[in-house]
Amino acid sequence: MKKTLCIVVTIFILPRINYCQVDSLKSFFPLQIDNRWQYEVKHVFMFDTTISYIVSTVLKDTIFENQSNSYYEVKVAFSGKPFYDTLKYFRYDSLLKSIIEYNELGGGEGLLFKLDAFENECWDYFGVEVCCGIDTLFVFGENRPCKIFYTHDNTPPAWSYILTDDLGAVRIGDDQSWGFTVYSEYNIEYAKINGEEFGDFVGISYDKTNTVESYFLYQNYPNPFNPATTINYRIPRRSLVLLKVYDILGREVSTIINEEKPAGSYEVEFEGTDLSSGIYFYKLQTENYTYMKKMILMK
């Protein structure tokens, strides 16, 4: 009788242990409605550094047409620049032990973070090779296990995410350097995870990067795009402005702007109907300034 009882207990305990081990991976990217993260964004262009803030919030879960899976809708809000606010869609796949992102333009899913990946393991994410590293990081007063995900590509932009247990993404890097230094660093200031708060929320009265005091070329949106995308830029003084698009081989495919403009912020639309899917670069050039960014046309 004692032997039978022991076997029954073992049968019930083992599945619970395995389930907890699998489920614990979710804590590296906690998707729950009302979860929120605030990041300080340091953007460096050569010797010029600007600071701004973004807030990411899990709004709701949703199901897309022709999709059986449910996704969490995450809004990324940019301080002082509401026209850059974007929506992203993620789900946790318990079989793949991965965070899956849904791309509305591409109409498909991409494996963004493989949470059970081993050191230096790599996989494909919408044509970009992503790899994993494992470490620990001191965040909000304690050392936490972390997983480092980064692109393994020879062309910019190169991005990286550091995810920590119970917090999610605490540090993000976006390197746009192309012959000169251009990169952005996102460092966590505040998080609200499953009702528990970490750090201090930074109240923003204004965003100094929104004033026209320097040249700047923004990332196009949406990106990836099909067939059109919007490009914003600013110039601090009257300038002859050239805005051109190049393919991956450096060949010019379009001249969007070639005229003199007064100081101000501008928005233009680029139409890629006649172009094939792939990576393109758009370059803003004036007498004293040259800046290039990467965009993806996905048909």
Tens digit of each residue's pLDDT (9 = 90 or more) over 55-102: 999 999 998 877 788 999 999 988 766 656 889 999 999 999 999 999
Stretch among 100-109, 110-119, 203-212 having the lowest mean pLDDT: 203-212
Distance CA 192, CA 22 (A): 23
Please give the pLDDT value at position 81: 63
Backbone angles phi, psi at 110, to 5 degrees: -130, 140
Which tokens hold the place of 267? 């928005």
Predicted model pTM: 0.63
53 burial via Cβ count (<10 Å: 0-12, 13-18, 19+)? buried
Residue bearing tokens 């800046």 = 291
Please give the pLDDT value at position 171: 95
Say whether 267 sits in a helix, a strand or coil.
Answer: strand
Backbone angles phi, psi at 141, to 5 degrees: 90, 5
Which tokens hold the place of 140? 């909000």
Please give the pLDDT value at position 160: 92
Say whether 181 sits in a helix, a strand or coil.
Answer: coil
Distance CA 162, CA 37 (A): 14
248 burial via Cβ count (<10 Å: 0-12, 13-18, 19+)? exposed
Give the β-pairing of 108-114 and 122-125: unpaired
Mean pLDDT (whole number) for 114-131: 91
Domain range summary for the chain, segments of one domain joined by +: 27-199, 211-297
The DSSP letter of residue 220 is P
- The answer regarding whether domain 27-199 maps to CATH 2.40.50 reads no
Contact yes or no for 292/280 (Cβ under 8 A): no
Q: What Rg do the C-alpha atoms of the chain give, in angstroms?
A: 22
Is the pLDDT at 168 greater than 80? The verdict is yes
Distance CA 104, CA 237 (A): 38
Closest by CA position to 165, among listed 193, 146, 188, 148:
146
- Answer CATH for 211-297 from 3.40.50.850, 3.30.470.10, 2.60.40.1930, 3.90.550.10: 2.60.40.1930
Is the pLDDT at 213 greater than 70? The verdict is no
